[in-house]
Chain A
Amino acid sequence: MYKIVSKEQFSQNVFRLCVEAPLIARACRAGNFVIVRIADKGERIPLTIAASDAEKGIITLVVQRVGLSSTRLCELNEGDEILDVVGPLGQPTHIENHGTVVCAGGGVGVAPMLPIATALKKAGNRVISVLAGRSKELIILEKEVRAVSDEVIIMTDDGSYGDKGLVTEGVERVIKREKVDKCFAIGPAVMMKFVCLLTKKYEIPTEVSLNTIMVDGTGMCGACRVTVDGKTKFVCVDGPEFDGHKVDFDGMLKRLAAFKDMEREEIEKYNDVHCEADPAQNEDAELIDRNAEWRVALRGKMKAKDRTNIERCVMPELDPVYRARSLR
């Protein structure tokens, strides 16, 4: 059993949990993740490690309430125990002095980015961090990131904090201004995809950290497979970090949706029982979020040009002769 020693709420759906796991804290390096199983009958979910303190024997997890298991995890409180925490898993980030590095973190992706930025700074890099989120509340760990960065750019979709715009706009601004030697991008798959498209244009090597579906997390099941440079790779043992320019993001996005419908059902079932939760707000947010997965997928389905080429449709109308004789 692994005790939660502190819990802090970052925003409506994002929490920071500090968990007692001395062996993991001792062995952990930037880029590693853990597999967590909350209770009996629970699923095994991967979570990146945001920070670790070997002396106190504590690791920090930043969790966003999205699915069933993350919801259950976020409902645990200080003093509660998690049944299983396994790790540190995955290959640690390769850290060296690249020169000038851009660290782009989207949403909760800022959490795993923090130890990487910290290590990069320590290795002598000039670190420029770009933090992005939908709105002000979703910009997390700003103070911590500032402490290890030479410059911080904040981008929000709605302009409620920092500059209005997407993460890519923030990154491009830096690239246009000065020579960037390396980029790290961590966040939702779509965000990483677009950062990579951008940096590829400027030929800047880019590392991404992938968060795929996993079961065991130790190289056994193959659920986490992605295509990198045309070859099948396993995120849990070959990754989680890969050369972003070689990752097949479209394939990955599809696989991420494997259990979407079931997950929704499970959550609804769960919410029926735990009515104190507020699903309405979550759903509403999704409805209007341009970067919501459904919406991005929808966008990708057809080229903009093809969309514009469609002729305007003529609304069917009733026969005017008939219309003219009817009062309704």
Chain B
Amino acid sequence: MALTEAQRCLDCPNPTCMEGCPVSINIPSFIKNIERGEFGKAAKVLKMTSSLPAVCGRVCPQEKQCESKCMHLKMGKKAVAIGSLERFAADYAREHGELSAPVIAPAKGIKVAVVGSGPAGLSFAGDMAKMGYDVTVFEALHEIGGVLKYGIPEFRLPNAIVDVEINTLEQMGVKFVKDCVIGKTLSIADLEADGFKGIFVASGAGLPNFMNIPGENSINIMSSNEYLTRVNLMDASNPESDTPMRIGKRVAVVGGGNTAMDSVRTALRLGAEKAMIIYRRSEAEMPARLEEVKHAKEEGVEFLTLHNPIEYIADENGCVKQIVLQKMELGEPDASGRRSPVPIEGAIETIDIDTAVVSVGVSPNPLVPTSVEGLELGRKNTIAVNEKMQSSIPTIFAGGDIVRGGATVILAMGDGRKAAASMDEMLSAK
């Protein structure tokens, strides 16, 4: 099947698909290696630019990136399934032991530090290690992988796959330090005193956004970060685990992104009888990957689009028992170009629930930005960077959600690559 699909790729002279890829994977090259049966080599092509190919194949919104630029579309045909092929090549290589640690340049003896071990940090660490830098990654949690571990559920991205990618980095000489919060346990100044010549901050999106509507602090209303962290990182649904978790029977997930889909599908797997997506716009505006929406529907998730929560009602113990929804209709396009939802007067619906998961975005983690004096901040306390991912302090670079506020794994990885190239340029010039 992969062979047939690989055949569909036209191997264009000016591959437009690559323009759509934030890390510029050489897409035609890997696909053509698949077509010729050299799956291991296809994986090697992926590894040249992406530290985490098996991850990207699973979590990238390909329909908005590479696949959206595929020549086939211009001819009225469906795009080549680039994402699926990427996943195939990476999985093949892993399962057949054809993993090749990339070639590493001779050691430069220059120490660089990475704050956060999510996709941006790992991608940066991989590139810097390849160039011969001495890389140390600091992680606040007790596991390496950031959102790949605590956020994205096992059924979408198995932890084993993430661990293989992390092992590859370890083989390349990258050091990992867990339980270490930069800005708290160690300051940026401590790192500099320790001889780190460059620091890449990829501390991710921290603070979950809430809607600030009445009743939102009732018991059993959680952010998607909390819900997914309990299940994924803390394994709370396993009776062996000490972390408590209430298993919802009627679960409302508010939001239309990938995190919302992850949460609602997790709820089904934990045994929910009714699992709903509540989204204020229509399905066409949903930011989630097409595949996630499709899977969710197939699995029996109910979609209440054009519904917006306006209140939660709690029982006498303070536990949520109902969600009050305002029905919406689409109005004029807003600044984002999407038609903005407006309330339909008087159209209110109340639904019985026992759990609500709020998945309406995140704001950047404040720990690093607020701990460094003189660091210029952008909107919502993101770290402001130039096009080289460099902050107002020349030795500090930043990327991923701490810069973007809330984006995707692949954009974060793209930032990591870009920051690695610029930091190398800076350190080599000295």
Contacts and interface: CB of A to CB of B under 8 A. Distances in A.
Interface of A: 23-24, 27, 37, 41-44, 68-69, 72, 83-89, 215-216, 218-223, 225-227, 231-232, 234, 237, 251, 254-255, 257-259, 262-263, 266
B235 interface: yes
B30 to A, nearest CB: 34
Nearest to B370: A237
B350 interface: no
A43 B187 contact: no
Contacts of B181: 86-87, 89, 218
A217 B362 CA distance: 16
14 contacts: A41-B241, A43-B234, A44-B243, A84-B142, A86-B141, A86-B142, A86-B180, A88-B184, A88-B185, A218-B206, A220-B229, A223-B226, A227-B217, A255-B217
A251 B208 contact: no
A55 B70 CA distance: 62
B225 interface: yes
Contacts of B185: 23-24, 27, 86-88
Nearest to A218: B140
Given A43-B242, A259-B246, A263-B244, A87 B184 contact: yes
Contacts of A222: 207-208, 210, 222-223, 225-226
Contacts of A218: 140-141, 181, 206, 365, 367
B271 interface: no
B184 A221 contact: no
B226 A221 contact: yes
A42 B242 contact: yes
A257 B217 CA distance: 13
A128 B262 CA distance: 52
B244 A221 contact: no
B242 A221 contact: no
Contacts of A266: 242, 244
A294 to B, nearest CB: 11
Contacts of A232: 210, 212, 216-217
A43 to B, nearest CB: 4
Contacts of A89: 181, 184
Given A41-B240, A227-B217, A254-B317, 17 more contacts: A24-B185, A41-B238, A41-B241, A42-B242, A43-B241, A44-B142, A44-B243, A69-B242, A86-B141, A215-B243, A218-B140, A218-B141, A221-B225, A221-B226, A254-B218, A255-B217, A257-B318
Contacts of A37: 142
B15 to A, nearest CB: 38
Contacts of A86: 140-142, 179-181, 185
Contacts of B217: 225-227, 232, 251, 255
Interface residues of B, number: 43
Q: Please classify the interface of chain B as helix (H, G, I), strand (E, B), loop, or mixed, using the class held by over half of its residues.
A: loop
A27 B242 contact: no
A41 B242 contact: yes
B244 A43 contact: yes
Contacts of B242: 41-43, 68-69, 72, 266
Nearest to A86: B179
A72 B241 CA distance: 13
A85 B234 contact: no
A231 B225 CA distance: 20
B153 to A, nearest CB: 15
B45 to A, nearest CB: 35
Nearest to A258: B219
B220 interface: yes
Given A85-B179, A221-B229, A257 B219 contact: yes
Contacts of A223: 222-223, 226
A222 B318 CA distance: 17
A257 B246 CA distance: 13
B36 interface: no
B156 interface: no
Interface string B144-183: 0000001000000000000000000000000000111100
B274 interface: no
B270 interface: no
B186 interface: yes
A225 B206 contact: no
A216 B229 contact: yes
B230 interface: yes
B223 A221 contact: yes
Nearest to B366: A237
A237 B210 CA distance: 16
Nearest 6 interchain pairs by C-beta = A254-B318, A221-B226, A222-B223, A219-B206, A43-B243, A222-B208
Contact of A27 (B187, B238, B318): B187
A299 B141 CA distance: 40
A214 to B, nearest CB: 10
A87 B184 CA distance: 6
A301 to B, nearest CB: 8
Contacts of B219: 254-255, 257-258
A215 B230 contact: yes
B222 A237 contact: no
Nearest to B365: A219
B208 A220 contact: yes
Contacts of A84: 142, 178-179
Most chain B CB atoms below 10 A, which of A223, A226, A227: A223
Contacts of B208: 220-222
Contacts of B179: 84-86
